[in-house]
Amino acid sequence: MALILIVEDAALIRKMLQKILKAEGHTILEAPNGLQGLQMIRTHNPECIVLDLLMPEMGGRQVLLALREEGLQIPTIVVTADVQQTTRAECLELGALTVLNKIPKPDELRHWVKKAIGVVTQEEIYEPNS
Amino acid sequence: MNLTVDQVDVLQELVNIGVGRAAGVLNEMIGSPICLRIPYIKVLSPQELQPDLEIRFNGDLLSTVGLNFSGSFAGTAELIFPTESASTLVEVLTGETAGTPDLDSVKIGTLLEVGNIVLNGIMGSLSNVLVQHLEYSLPTYLEGRIDKLFNSKHLDAKASVFLAHTRFIIEQLQIAGDIIVIFKVGSFDAMLKAIDLAFEGDNERDPGSPERVWHS
C-alpha cells in the first residue's frame, strides 16, 4: 500500500479522507496548509497527494506550481469545494491528476488514489452513478 | 437601480440553482432532507441594507460564515445560523455529543468548512452558468447580532447592493439557517451584462416551485 499525504486545512475533511484511505491500508501523512505540505513532500516523498485549494499560509495552486517548478512528478488529487469549471481546468493545466468536489464519495476517492499509485485495473474504472 | 421583471426572474432562478446545489451537498453531508424556501431578491442602498437585515433576523444571536468573492463581479456570500442551530449541526457532523451551545475552535473550524462547501456550491453554480470566473478569499467566522455582523460602512454609500436571501430548514434536526448573497454594485452591472449574454435568446424559463426538498 502507499504513503499518501493529505494537505487540507479543515480537520473535519482531513478526518473523513484519512478514514477512507486508512481503511484501504494506506499510510497517511497530514498537513494543515500548503507550506507544511510542501515541506513534507520534500522530506517524505509521498506516492500520492490529496490537496485542498483554499488554505491559509499557502494554497493548493501554489503547491501545484511548486511541484512543477521543482520537477516533482507526484500524482496529485485536488479535493476542493470550488465547483467552477474554470478552476477545474486550471488545476488540470497545473498538473493535477483530477479534481474532485467536496465531499468526494469514498468510491470516487479510492478509485483515483488507485489510479495515482498505478494499481487501477480496467475492471475498477469508476462510474459516478454506479 | 431598478431591475426588470425578466432580470429578477433570471436572478431568482440562478440563485435557486446555486442554492439547490448547496442544499444537495449539505444533504449528503448530514443525511437529512433539506427544505428550501423560494429566494427573496432585492436591490437596495447600503443604508437600507442593515435595517432590512435587522427585520429579517429579529435580533437573534447568529453564527455566520462569510465567503468574499471577486472577479467579474464581487461581494460576499454568507451562511447564517442561529448559534444554537450551528452547534447542533456541528454535533451531527462530528458525532460529538452535546456540550454547551457555545462554539469552540474545533466547532468553528467545522462550521467554516460547511460554510465553505455550501457557499462555493452557490457561487460556483453562478460562475458556471454565467461563464465568469470568481476568486475566493478564505472563509471567515463571526458571531453576534446582525448589526454587528453587517456593517454597511465599508460599502460605497452611493452604490446599490443586490441582496439574495433564502431560508432552509432541516426539520429532522430542528435546524434553520439562512443564506444571503450581497453583490457590490459596479460588479452587479457586470453580472447583469453576463446574465444578458448567457441568456440571450432564451425565453423559456422554469417557473420554479415555492418549496423544494432534497432527500439523500
Task: Evaluate whether residue B214 is within a structural domain.
Answer: no
Instruction: Read off the pLDDT of residues A5-15 as tens digits, 9 standing for 90 and up.
Output: 999 999 889 99
The ipTM value here is 0.74
Task: Evaluate whether residue B71 is within a structural domain.
Answer: yes
Determine which helix (DSSP H) or strand (DSSP E) holds B20, and give its type and residue range. Answer: helix B5-30
Query: In degrees to the nearest 10, what's the CA dihedral of A105, A106, A108, A112?
Result: 140
Residue for grid cell 453576534: B144
- Residue A25, Cβ neighbours under 10 Å: how many? 8
Distance from the A81 Cα atom to the nearest Cα atom in chain B, whole angstroms:
5
How much is the pLDDT for B52?
A: 84
| pLDDT tens track, chain A, 130 positions | 899 999 999 988 999 999 999 999 999 999 999 999 999 999 999 999 999 999 999 999 999 999 999 999 999 999 999 999 999 999 999 999 999 999 899 999 999 999 999 865 545 555 555 4
Instruction: Read off the pLDDT of residues B33-54 as tens digits, 9 standing for 90 and up.
Output: 888 887 888 888 878 888 888 8
**Interval B186-198 mean pLDDT:** 76
Domain boundaries, chain A: 3-118
Q: Which residues contact B120 (CB under 8 A, 6 or more apart)?
A: A80, A81, A82, A83, B67, B136
B112 contacts on A by Cβ (under 8 Å) = 10
Which among B116, B125, B126, B133 is the top mutation candidate for probing chain A, defined by the most A β-carbons within 10 Å of its own β-carbon? B116
Half-sphere exposure of B214 (CA within 13 A, CB side): 23
User: How many domains would you assign to chain B?
Assistant: 1
Determine which helix (DSSP H) or strand (DSSP E) holds A91, and give its type and residue range. Answer: helix A85-93
State in words which class domain A3-118 has.
alpha beta
Task: Evaluate whether residue B209 is within a structural domain.
Answer: no
Is the pTM higher than 0.90? The answer reads no
Task: Evaluate whether residue B66 is within a structural domain.
Answer: yes
How much is the pLDDT for B208?
A: 41
CATH number (domain holding residue B166): 3.40.1550.10
Task: Evaluate whether residue B171 is within a structural domain.
Answer: yes
- Count Cβ neighbours within 10 Å for each residue of A107-126 and write b for 16 or more, e otherwise: ebbbbbbbbbbeebeeeeee
Q: Which residue has the higher pLDDT, A40 or B151?
A: A40
Distance (Å, whole) CA B121 – CA A77: 20
Instruction: Read off the pLDDT of residues A33-55 as tens digits, 9 standing for 90 and up.
Output: 999 999 999 999 999 999 999 99
Which residue range(s) make up the domain with B183? 5-203
Q: Give contacts of A 18-47 with B, CB under 8 A.
A: none
Partner-chain contact A83 B93, CB within 8 Å:
no
A54 contacts on B by Cβ (under 8 Å) = 116, 136, 138-139
How much is the pLDDT for B209?
A: 39
